[in-house]
Amino acid sequence: VLLVEDWPMGSLKLVKTGLVNETCSDNPSETKVLSGVEFTLKKVKADLSVDTSFRAITVVTDSNGEADFTQLPTGTYEITETGTVDNYILKSDKYYVTINADGTNNGLKDADGNNVSGNTIVNDLPRTDIEILKVNLDDNNEKLPGSTYGLFEKDAEDNLKKIAESTTDSEGVLRFEGVIPDKEYTIKELVAPNGYYVSENPITITYEVDRTGKLV
């Protein structure tokens, strides 16, 4: 008599998204799903060292931003991001999931043991701040507070859409935080300081990413 026991196998589905808006925008936490991001899963021992007897599995996120790892035996697994897309920054974080004896799991966790909400891993883009000093045209040593500027980008119909506003401080400085690459920004004055005219000379600026992933 041959007895065959079917051990339950587990699975994990994670979701990959990326931030899309500037930090200074009204909705800085908005995301989109990212397809084509590569994740690698390895089995680990109790001390979290890699179990070399298990062959690593690599999965790429689909059009819904999902990566499915299936047919996983009981044990603990380490998941890392091993390939990214577009300008998104490759995450170096390690994540873990434990497959229980009945094939269930308790969700994706970070290296500190905290639950990853919705099994969703969010990537960010390279960012920088735009800083402008407002001075008197006739006397560059005179700083001008109280000047309000808008940060704009072009929409699908090539019209300027305002992303954010910023007003110069007591030192004449204004800042737009967390702008991102490959966007053409237009900066123009909306409200001038008392006694001055609104500037009719908008500024256009675009940032690109160099080979190291930094904005230039």
Model pTM score: 0.88
* Length of the chain, in residues: 216
- Chain-centroid distance of CA 164 in Å reads 19
Q: Which residues, 6 or more positions from 140, have their beta carbon under 8 angstroms from its beta carbon? A: none
Q: Which residues, 6 or more positions from 24, have their beta carbon under 8 angstroms from its beta carbon? A: 151, 163, 164, 166, 176, 177, 178, 179
The string of pLDDT tens digits covering residues 128-181 is 999 999 999 889 999 999 999 999 999 989 999 999 999 999 999 999 999 999
More confident site: 33 or 194: 33
The string of pLDDT tens digits covering residues 41-60 is 999 999 999 999 999 999 99
> How many CA atoms does the CB half-sphere of 80 hold within 13 Å?
11
* Residue 5 confidence (pLDDT) above 60: no
The string of pLDDT tens digits covering residues 68-87 is 999 999 999 999 999 999 99
Gap between the Cα atoms of 144 and 170, Å rounded:
7
What per-residue confidence (pLDDT) applies to 46? 95
Query: Is the Cβ–Cβ distance between 141 and 172 less than 8 Å?
Result: no
Tokens of 14: 């994670």
- Is 99 exposed, middle or buried, given 0-12, 13-18 or 19+ CB atoms closer than 10 A? buried
| pLDDT band at residue 22 under the 50/70/90 scheme | very high
* Residue 32 confidence (pLDDT) above 70: yes
* Residue 6 confidence (pLDDT) above 80: no
DSSP 89: P
